[in-house]
Amino acid sequence: MSSTLETKILPVKPESISFENAGTTLTITDPETKQNLEYAADILRNTHHAVGFPSETVYGLGASSLSSESVKSIYAAKNRPADNPLISHVSSIDQLKRKLMVPGQEIPEIYAPLIEKFWPGPLTILLPMPENVHDSPISQLVTSGQPTFAVRMPQNPVARALIYISDLPLAAPSANASTRPSPTTAAHVYHDLKGRIPLILDGGPSDVGLESTVVDGLCDPPMLLRPGGISLEQIKQAGGPRWQNIVVAKKTAGKLEPVRTPGMKYRHYSPTARVVLFNNCGDGKEKVKAYLEQNNLQNKKVALLKTRRFAPANDISPLISYDGTLGTSGDEIQRNLFSALRALDAEEYDYILIEGVDETAEGLAIMNRLSKAASETING
Ligand code: TXA
Ligand code: MG
């Protein structure tokens, strides 16, 4: 793909968009928002280019799930390995059935309570591909040869309106360059993909701040393939009896191992700085100080990102030149995580020392992303 496209950033107002009748009726009160959404939808319908758009989890890079040429431009813009399948995004159940499922195919009953509770929202489910994959309208580049396809209905009105207006299910990974932290603002997308895509819709920062939860209800017991915006506890609570035995997939997989979620084997979420994760290290005074001394970081630019228990940087070591906090609640930590990593990278920090959290509630997804971003983990 050409790397000399002019990348426009156009504003859209999420609060001017509303849906009714199970996502089949759309109203947009702000004329500029309507015009910019229609412009984006035209690009998706009439070219093979991918478009950057806001979602409640992270910004996505979308193109039609039904066109291999369009899907290729996503992989090319991100520089993403082609064996890592993509999530298709729909604006309504009606559209999911019309555009992605084969005649007579039903959504498996096991998903009913989760769809009822969490759609639209940050939950992705796996649905079966037909036995003969050529019967499916979905490009095989979306599924990378998996016997299933992944789908979610985003809650962000801009994302949903773009899908509705184009009437295309959008394959959309996070709109970062492969291996970089996921983007939570239009500026992050521009930083990574300028010159590679024609348009980014700017709808303000993402609410959740990290990606959707991916679940597989087609196997027994069901599996949590990627922790994300909906917690394991929420799934068990809303899912009813069949989701009580849900198993959390292994965090990492070897390069040659066949994996359930191919994304798990790649380097991820990494800023240029070296990220060091501190687990169960109390107020941090002992372990962080020892780390700084043992690694001779006197001449390095070192940042600290605290969560719940760490002492102020001043009380830990004079070698730390940035004292930041990600927040104390799970929501705040999720929302701030990727943008904090990007901001410190922009300031050319050499080391980012991060205080981990317990793996309960939002903590499971937070620690999943932090351990992938980290080159090293220190345990207390
Ligand atoms: O919140 C999100 O999910 C964002 C926004 C843009 O919607 N998208 C996102 O996409 O995070 P991506 O491509 O970065 O992550 C998709 C994840 C990967 O871990 C991939 O391996 C997994 O979903 N996945 C997709 N299709 C799959 C399938 N058929 N079977 C197993 N895992 C699948
Ligand atoms: Mg991603």
Ligand 1 binding residues, C-beta < 6 A: 55, 57-58, 60, 84-87, 122, 124, 126, 143, 146, 148-150, 154, 172-174, 211-212, 214, 225-226, 260-263
Q: Could you identify the atom of ligand 1 that is nearest to the CA of residue 210?
A: 1
Predicted pLDDT of residue 302: 98
Cα-Cα-Cα-Cα torsion 183, 184, 185, 191, nearest 10 degrees, comes to: -20
Ligand found nearest the CA of 261: 1
Alpha-carbon gap, residue 183 to 205, rounded angstroms? 9
Instruction: Write the pLDDT tens digit of every residue in 91-142.
Output: 999 999 999 999 999 999 999 999 999 999 999 999 999 999 999 999 999 9
Predicted pLDDT of residue 257: 47
From residue 378, give the alpha-carbon distance in Å to each of 104, 170, 265, 289, 309: 53, 40, 22, 12, 16
Q: Which domains does the chain have, with CATH numbers?
A: 8-248 (3.90.870.10), 274-379 (3.40.50.11030)
Contacts for 304 with CB less than 8 Å, ≥ 6 apart = 284, 288, 310, 313, 316, 320, 322, 323, 324, 353, 354, 355
Predicted pLDDT of residue 346: 94
**pLDDT class of 259 with cuts at 50, 70, 90:** very low
pTM, rounded to two decimals: 0.95
